[in-house]
Amino acid sequence: DGGITQSPKYLFRKEGQNVTLSCEQNLNHDAMYWYRQDPGQGLRLIYYSQIVNDFQKGDIAEGYSVSREKKESFPLTVTSAQKNPTAFYLCASGVGGLGTGELFFGEGSRLTVL
């Protein structure tokens, strides 16, 4: 089945550790996105990528990093510089270009900092 796979679904981290969240898609989409979700705040954009080897900061990029070495993959690293990393992280992909903007989402990864 075509879709977006995020892993791990649950992750616990000690303060000061970097963690990497995986996102893989087999929809042949050019565009990929990372959102952060906190209760009552909706979804906030962390990073997005239009094509391989290119990505841009979203609204809350501080303390995060990404790479886009392959079309199918867009991993997110939560660094120790992120002051409040406990959240639900959602990866999405879309056609990009002249499409409608519709996004397809993975199941999410819940990160808890102990």
Partner 1 sequence: AQSVTQLGSHVSVSEGALVLLRCNYSSSVPPYLFWYVQYPNQGLQLLLKYTSAATLVKGINGFEAEFKKSETSFHLTKPSAHMSDAAEYFCAVRMNTGFQKLVFGTGTRLLVSP
Question: In whole angstroms, what is the distance from residue 93 CA to residue 52 CA?
Answer: 13
**Min dist. Cβ of residue 16 to partner 1 (A):** 27
- Where does 18-111 have alpha helices with state H? none
* Cβ within 8 Å of residue 44, ≥6 positions away: 35, 36, 37, 38, 58, 59, 60
Among residues 8 and 81, whose Cβ is nearest to partner 1?
Answer: 8
Smallest distance from partner 1 to CB 11, Å = 13
Would you tell me which residues interact with partner 1 (CB under 8 A)? Answer: 4, 6, 31, 33, 35, 40-43, 45, 48, 50, 56, 58, 88, 90, 92, 94, 96-97, 99-108, 110
